[in-house]
Structure 1
C-alpha cells in the first residue's frame, strides 16, 4: 500500500515540475538561486513529510470475545463503549472480535486472508514473535518516535518494558506495565465448608490434595445423598499441574546452565502422570478435555457441584464466578488454595511478566499515525473510563480509586469493555480492592476474599528461569506443529488406558521434538541465552 502511495507522490511531483517549468528554473535542488516555495509547493512538501496527514482517522483492533456482552448492550463490535471511543478519541474504530480460546488460530486465518485488524494484540509475547517471522507485523519505533507524545513519555518512565517489546533490535509491540492483580494470572480455590464438613485439613502436598479430592468424590460433601460431586474443575487444570511441577510445556528452563524445552523434561512426564492419575480416579470432570470454552467447568463450580476450582485469577473472573456461586449456594465458603508441593519442589501457579498486553501493528495497516493517536489517547485518559465506567454512574472517586456503585450494573454494562483499554497508566495496591468494591455487603465480602486470593496467588514464585523466551523462526515453526501433537498425546495418556503410560507419552513427545528439528533449536536457544544472559535481571 505504501508503494502505491509513493508512486502517486512521485507522479504528482513530476507534474508540478512540468507546470512550473516556465516560471522556475525547475524542480532540481542544484544551484543557489531558488525562488521561495509557493504555498502550493509547501502543501506538497507537508504531505510528503507526513504521508498519513490526509488519510481518514480510522483504526481497527482485535478483541477477545469472552461471550460477556449481553444482548441489550449490543455486540463486541457495536455497543455504548465503541460509540464512546469514537466520540471521545476522534478515531473511527472498528472492533474485530476473536474467540478467546481460539484467538491465535482465528487471527492467523484473518492475517492469511489479509482481513486482520490494524492493531493485533495478545498476552503472549511468543505469538508476537511468530507474527514477526511470518512477516505479518512491522516495527513501531519510527511511528512512536514521530507521532506519539503520551505513550512515548510513558515508555521513558518505564524503560524496563523495552526489552520485552524489542525483537532483533527493533520494537515490534507496545505495552503498558502490569499491576500486581494482573501479574497473578492463575489461582486455585477450595470449598472450606466441604473441608470442615468432612473433617479435612487444607492440602499442602500433592498426595494430600489427591486424598482430599477422593473424599470430595466419595463422601457426599454437598449432603444431597447422591454421588454427583466433582472434586476438581477449571480452565487451567493442566497449566496448574505443569506449574506445580515446574514443567510448562512451551517454556524454556535452565537445567544446570543448559536451555531445555519444557515438554522434553522428565518433570513434564510427571505432569502427564498426574493428569492420568486424576482422570482415571474420577477426580476431575470426565469432559474437561473437550470443554473448550470451559462453560461446563464454570457451571459445575458456580452451581456448587465442584470442590476445587483452578482457573484464571485476574480479569474479574474469580469474583464473577464466586458471586454466582453464592447466589446458587448461599452457604458455600470458597477460599484461596495455595499451590501444593510435588516431588519436584514447591512452585507458584502461572504468573505474568511485566508487560500487560502486547499490541502489534499489522504490516498492511493504512494509517499508523491514527493508530498511535489512539494509543496515546488510551494511555492518557481513555483507559480509565473503559476499565471503570462513567463516574457518578458506575463508580465514584475515592482518594484516586474508582469505587463501584453497583456490582451487577458494572458487570453488565462495563466489565466487557476493559480490554478495549489495552494500554493503561494505572497504579495499584492490594488494599485498593477493598476501596474499589461496591459498598454492599456481598461486594465487600468478595473484595476481602479477592485480596486474600491475590496474596495467596503471589505468595509462591512461578518458576521462570529467563525473563522472556527466545524468538527463533525455527522454534516458532516447531511450536506450531508440536502443540496439537502434545494435546493428542495428553488425551491418549489420560483417557485410553494402561497401554498409554506417561513414560510412553514423554518419549513420543521427545521423538517428535527431535524429528521436527528440536535438537538444532536447542543449540540455537543456548547460543541465544549465552548472548543475552548478561542483560537478564
Structure 2
C-alpha cells in the first residue's frame, strides 16, 4: 500500500515527455515492435521468440532494504524472481516521494524501464497522452492466460485501465486494507489523563489539540508536546471538507476542480489556524521523508497523527511507539464534522497498481509471461515470504512467525508484487500478524482502525478523472502553484485563506482553467451514463 499523499508530475512533465516522444519518433530500432502490434512475423512464427527474455521494471525505493539484505536492485528477492520466472529481470528503483519526477527524467533521457508502474491513474493518463506507453490489448489476447482470465472475471476494472478505447495497463483489485488509506489516530491515554472526549466536530478537534499543547499530557513537566503531526495532513484536511487538491467534483451539476472550491478555502483556513496556534509541527512543510513525523510520534511527543489507518509505515510507527512507551494507547477516530457535513478520509478506487508497457519495450511477450507468473505464483511469496521461515498457514491464511524478521527480510519485497489477486477480510489481520503480544496489540488496533476508516466514504463524485491532454498539462503545472500558495497561506502571517483561495482561482483562470472546465464538462456529459 502506498502512503497515499497523491503525487503529481511537475511542470517538467510536458516538456520532458514531449522531448522523449520526439526522440523516440526519430530513432530506428529494428528490435522494437510497433506499439500494440502482434508478434507474428512474415513466416508465420513469433518474432519475439528469438529475442532474449530481458525485462526491466520500476520499483518504489522507500529506504526499506537493510545493508545486509542488499539494495533494491540486488537482493534475495530479485534473484528469486529471476530464477522462478525465467525472466532476466532488472529493477530500476525511484524514490517514493519523487517517483513521478524521477520517472519523467528517465523517460526524457530514454532510460525508462520496460514496465513503468504507479498507483496514480492520472499519471498513467499523462503517459498515454504523451505517447510514452503503448496499448496492450493485443498482447493480453495473444500471450496471456492468467491475467486475461482475471480481467474477464473482474470486468469492472477494465474502465480504469482503458484510455481512448484501448487498454494501456494491467491492474488487480485492491483489498479492503488497500482501499482504506488515510486515517486519524489519537492518544486515548492523553484524552483520559486530561478528562477529554474524542473530538467529533472541527471546533472540538482544535480544542483537544490546544489542550494537548498546554496541559502537559505526557507528564514530563515540560511544554514540549506537538499536538498534531502527520505526513498526509493536506489531504486529510481537504477530505474532511469534502474536496481534494487534484480531483474534479460536481458542484451544482458543474465540473469544478477541487482546489478552486470554497471547500478548499475552508480547509486552508483550518490548517492555518492550527499552524498559527502552534498545534502543528512547524517542520511539516520540509518533512519530505516523514522522518520528523515518525520521530515525534514514536517518541511519544505527539497526540494526534494525520497519517494512515494502519499497515506499512503506520504499523512500524506504532510498533516503535509501543516499544518505547508500553502504556501508550493510540486509537483510531473518525474525521470530524465541518459545516459541509461529515466525509471520510481518502479511499482508493478499486484498481490497485497500474503496470504499463514502455513504447520502446523490445519483448512484450516476455513481459506478459512475467506478469502472468506474478499473478500465478510470484505475488504470494513476495508478500508473505517463505513458508516455515516467515509464515505458517493457519486456515489457509499466512501467519507471521517473527514480525521483525518479516519486516527486515520480506517487507521491501512488496514493492515487486505489482499484480496480486489477493482477497482479504478485516479479521484476517489478526491471523496474519505474529502471535506475540505486541504484534497482536498492533493488529487489533489496525482492525479497529480499518473499520473506523471505512465507516465514512471519501467524497468521489466521478469514478475516475478525465484523461484530456489540455487538462493533464494544466494540472501538472497548476499543482506546483497550489502547493506554493498553500504553504504561503498556512505559514505567512497577514495572508489569509481567503486571499490564498483568490490567488489560486486567479492562477487557474490565467492558465486556462475556464477552458479546462468546459472540456471536463463535455467529458462528463459524454461519459456519465456509463458511471455506476
Task: Pick the TM interval, shorter chain.
Answer: over 0.9
1:249 aligned residue: 245
Aligned ranges for residues 61-210 of structure 1 at < 5 Å?
A: 61-210=57-206
Count of aligned pairs between the two proteins? 501
Q: Which residue is equivalent to 1:52?
A: 48
User: Which of 486, 509, 522 is equivalent to 2:517?
Assistant: 522
After superposition, give the CA deviation of every residue in 1:102-160 in whole Å (9 maximum; x if it has no partner): 11011000000011111111110000001111111111111111111111111111001
Rounded to whole Å, the distance in 2 between the matches of 1:282 and 1:134 is: 44
Task: Provide the secondary structure at the position in 1 that maps to 2:170.
Answer: coil
- The CA distance in 1 between the partners of 2:32 and 2:302, in whole Å, is 64
Other-structure match for 1:432: 428
Q: Distance in 2 between matches of 1:137 and 1:236?
A: 30
TM-superposed CA distance for 1:312, in Å, is 2.9
Provide Cα deviations, 1:27-77, integer angstroms capped at 9, x if missing partner.
Answer: xxxxxxxxxxxxxxxx9855x642211111111111111111111111111
Q: Cα distance, 1:492 vs. partner?
A: 1.1
1:407 to 1:139, Cα distance in 2 relative to 1, 3 A? same
Looking at structure 2, the residues matched to 170 and 7 of structure 1 have their Cα atoms a distance apart, in angstroms, of 20
**1:487-511: CA deviation from partner (whole Å, max 9, x where unpaired):** 111111111112x111111111111
Aligned counterpart, 1:269:
265
Which residue among 496, 501, 504 is the counterpart of 1:506? 501
Aligned match of 2:462 in 450, 453, 466? 466
Indicate the residue corresponding to 1:38 in structure 2: none
Describe how 1:268-287 pairs up with structure 2 within 5 A. 268-287=264-283
- 1:182/1:314 contact within 8 Å kept: no
Of 297, 313, 332, the residue aligned with 1:301 is 297
What does residue 11 of structure 2 align with?
Answer: none
Offset, 1:316: 2.0
Q: Secondary structure at the match of 1:137?
A: coil
Structure 1 residues without counterparts, runs of 5 or longer? 9-42
Q: Distance in 1 between matches of 2:51 and 2:411?
A: 33
Q: Once the two structures are superposed, what CA deviation does each residue of 1:66-97 show, in whole Å capped at 9, x if it has no partner?
A: 11111111111111100000010011111111
2:61 & 2:32 partners in 1: Cα distance? 40
Q: Work out whether 1:258 is the aligned partner of 2:254.
A: yes
Give the conservation status (yes or no) of the 8 Å contact 1:141–1:171. yes
Q: Secondary structure at the match of 1:311?
A: strand
Q: 1:313 deviation in Å? A: 3.1
Shift in Å, 1:484: 1.0
SS at match of 2:455: coil
The aligned residue for residue 423 of structure 1 is 419
Contact kept in structure 2, 1:184 and 1:314, CA below 8 Å: no
User: Whose Rg is larger?
Assistant: 1
Which residue number in structure 2 is paired with residue 480 of structure 1? Answer: 476
Alpha-carbon shift at residue 286 of structure 1 (Å): 0.2
Change (3 A) 1:188 1:44: closer
RMSD, aligned α-carbons: 1.5
- TM-score, normalised to structure 2's length? 0.92
- Residue aligning to 1:37: none
Contact persistence 2:32–2:360 (CA under 8 A) = no
C-alpha contact (below 8 Å) 2:311/2:446 kept by paired residues? no
**Cα deviations across residues 360-384 of structure 1 (Å, max 9, x unaligned)?**
1111111111111111001111100
